[in-house]
A and B are shown apart, each in its own frame.
Chain A
């Protein structure tokens, strides 16, 4: 199988699973399909030799975040009755808006220089852990450290929000 065929198959599977995310009625299924989509995106990272991001995507997104989603869904114990109904007019208008957005974005692609460049011919070493590590701990060290504050803030916020109010009163 040529690489061309593989990428076309991967691309269509990505889009198909993404569509299933928004089409499936049950949220748990949506989460599962989203995980699948992330897997396919990871495969695309690998195709572009972005090894570090591929790993991180797999672990953080597909692993941690999605499991968190799943966990919350289970926790809330949602059933069919709770699932909100969407109205038809909103769907149609959303479809039109999204379609035209897609068209516009594609037409923006038409003039770009990137058109027709083969990804195999590019310098493939930049996505390696070593290269990114060098960048992350030299040029972006400040931003990296600040993310830790962000995480602490998010953690404290999450705990505070999810705590039961009665416990706060006590």
Chain B
């Protein structure tokens, strides 16, 4: 294996990209306070995982992982729908989309 030569042509490159995307999504979710951006960061992380699954699917030559990605997309679509409607509700009540405003559940 010539790791140095194979950058860009081997599957581990995609893994690297997936990890990078996941990390970026996580950092974004931790730092940004806008709820919509937060939701987008979560979408980004989901996509990173999707990429990871497709990569492994290719490596193992099995389609099951791709079916899994399909289901992830389905769930993500549902989640985005509900999440966004929650955000709309929240904005209506609080006139803000700051995620830190929504810490009232503990009391």
Q: Does the CB pair B81–A90 fall under 8 Å?
A: no
Name the A residues within 8 Å of B99 (CB-CB): 84
Identify which of A41, A98, A106, A140 contacts B30 (C-beta below 8 A).
A98
> Bound state CA distance, A150 and B43, in angstroms?
18
Name the A residues within 8 Å of B61 (CB-CB): 122-123, 126
Q: Does the CB pair B66–A53 fall under 8 Å?
A: yes
Interface of B, helix, strand, loop or mixed by DSSP: helix
Identify which of B20, B24, B51 contacts A21 (C-beta below 8 A).
B24
What per-residue 1/0 map shows which CB atoms of B53-87 lie under 8 Å from chain A?
Answer: 01111110111101101110111111111101111
Q: Does the CB pair A22–B32 fall under 8 Å?
A: yes
Interface of A, helix, strand, loop or mixed by DSSP: helix
Q: Does the CB pair A114–B15 fall under 8 Å?
A: yes
Closest to A3 in B: B9
Name the A residues within 8 Å of B86 (CB-CB): 161
Name the B residues within 8 Å of A154 (CB-CB): 77-79, 81-82
Query: B105 on the interface (CB 8 Å rule)?
Result: no
Chain A: how many interface residues by the 8 Å CB criterion? 89
Q: Does the CB pair A45–B24 fall under 8 Å?
A: no
Given A50-B58, A101-B23 in contact, is the A68-B84 Cβ separation under 8 Å? Answer: yes
Closest to B100 in A: A84
Name the B residues within 8 Å of A86 (CB-CB): 31-33
> Bound state CA distance, A155 and B23, in angstroms?
31
Given A158-B81, A158-B85 in contact, is the A27-B63 Cβ separation under 8 Å? Answer: no
Query: B104 on the interface (CB 8 Å rule)?
Result: no
* Chain B 86-102 residues near chain A, CB threshold 8 A: 86-89, 91, 96-100
Name the B residues within 8 Å of A114 (CB-CB): 11-12, 15, 55-56, 59
> Bound state CA distance, A119 and B36, in angstroms?
36
Given A50-B66, A116-B6, A122-B61 in contact, is the A102-B34 Cβ separation under 8 Å? Answer: no
Identify which of A4, A117, A136 contacts B70 (C-beta below 8 A).
A136
Query: A167 on the interface (CB 8 Å rule)?
Result: no
> Bound state CA distance, A136 and B63, in angstroms?
10
Q: Does the CB pair A105–B22 fall under 8 Å?
A: yes
Name the A residues within 8 Å of B36 (CB-CB): 27, 69, 72-73
> Bound state CA distance, A38 and B23, in angstroms?
16
